[in-house]
Amino acid sequence: MENQVFVMDHPLIQHKLTHLRKKETGAKEFRELVSEIATLMCYEATRDLPLEETEIETPMGKAVTKVIAGRKLAFVPILRAGLGMVEGVLTLIPAAKVGHIGLYRDHQTLQPVEYYHKLPQDIESREVIVLDPMLATGGSAVDAIDIIKRSHPKAIKFMCIIAAPEGIAALTKAHPDVQVYCAAVDERLNEIGYIVPGLGDAGDRIFGTL
């Protein structure tokens, strides 16, 4: 299947993203914005969930209406920064399960190092949405999806807030079956692998570890 990259240009997402990028935005507001953007992105990323008809009774009589057809979801944040998106997506889909993948980038090599993973046991019957605010070189996303694929979920989507062109290229090459959702594709990576203009280090800004 061909990769599909969706850039979500909804005005509410773009407005919140501007505040998220500002260097004077403190940790509390940063966390709130990440969560709100995740909710709005999740609304768009689940647009293709299948519906089925059901018969109900309103105070006025019988009606045939629609509900989501049994497809089950799991969210998998990449630690640490992906954690900031979990509450926002669970606002929309509280019944989803949540797995975790722990990866950090080695600052010298920029290669991801895995330190933890725990996925839902029934992941084979679920569609997975991977969460991480930043797609920079793409190394973390590619490795996280490699790990998830070993458990054979039904399908995988990747949701980030800011992507670098380099990260999109790496992810779509390694996993052409994964749909990528982002709020912005920025100019480039700098010499130490940070997205420019980006927003800095997402994990540090969420958890105040700057």
Active site residues: 105, 109, 201, 204
| Residues 89-118 contacting ligand URA, CB under 6 A | none
Identity of the residue numbered 208: G
| Residues 27-86 contacting ligand URA, CB under 6 A | 81
Nearer to ligand URA, 73 or 189 (CB): 189
**Binding-site partner at residue 194 among ligand URA, ligand PRP, none, CB < 5 to 8 Å by type:** ligand URA
Q: Using the structure block, give the residue that is written with the tokens 């008809």.
A: 53
- Helix, strand, or coil here: 28? helix
User: In Å, how far from its chain's centre is CA 135?
Assistant: 10
**Nearest distance in Å: CB 123, ligand PRP:** 20
**Nearest distance in Å: CB 53, ligand URA:** 44
Nearer to ligand PRP, 137 or 172 (CB): 137
User: In Å, how far from its chain's centre is CA 116?
Assistant: 18
Exposed, middle or buried by CB within 10 Å (0-12, 13-18, 19+), for 21? Answer: middle
Nearer to ligand PRP, 8 or 79 (CB): 79
- Helix, strand, or coil here: 178? coil
User: In Å, how far from its chain's centre is CA 164?
Assistant: 15
Q: How many CB atoms are closer than 10 A to CB 59?
A: 4
**Binding-site partner at residue 198 among ligand PRP, ligand URA, none, CB < 5 to 8 Å by type:** ligand URA
Interface with ligand URA, residue 195, by CB under 6 A: yes
**Site residues (vs ligand URA, CB under 6 A):** 81, 134, 136, 194-195, 198, 201-203
